[in-house]
Amino acid sequence: MKLLHTSITVRSMDESLTFYTEILGLQFERRRTIPENHAEIAFVHDPVSGGRIELTHWEGKDQFEAGEQLDHLAFEVDDLDRFLLRVRPKGVRVAKEPYQLRGGSSRLAFILDPNDVWIELIERPKTPA
């Protein structure tokens, strides 16, 4: 398992991108809308550490309570089905069963930690040997 990114919910994508790139010096990677989730996401990264942040703006959600900004942590897993088979008997709660976004190539699922923090699991497509 490999930690991929931390996602935070933002009020304004443009203001947040300006802050993370111009103020903090992170580098812009990409930005896209996800119509089926009513969201827009953008990725920035630290060129020194490789750490990545996903900025998520939810359509119609411009106000939130303190603490709601952490959206999810994302981990890459080799085999999503095998991982879920291993953790379900340990009481891990699955918030979203495996699925694939339209136009995407990775399989995704979400589990919850004991504090109800969402953990995204990403299985990348296998490359032929």
Q: Is 68 in the active site?
A: no
Among residues 29, 68, 97, 120, the one annotated as catalytic is 120
One-letter amino acid of 76:
E
Q: What are phi and psi of 91, to 5 degrees?
A: 90, 10
Edge-to-edge strand list for the sheet holding 118-123: 27-34, 39-45, 52-58, 2-9, 70-76, 118-123, 107-112, 93-99
Q: 3-state class of 121 per DSSP? A: strand
Q: What positions carry a catalytic annotation? A: 120
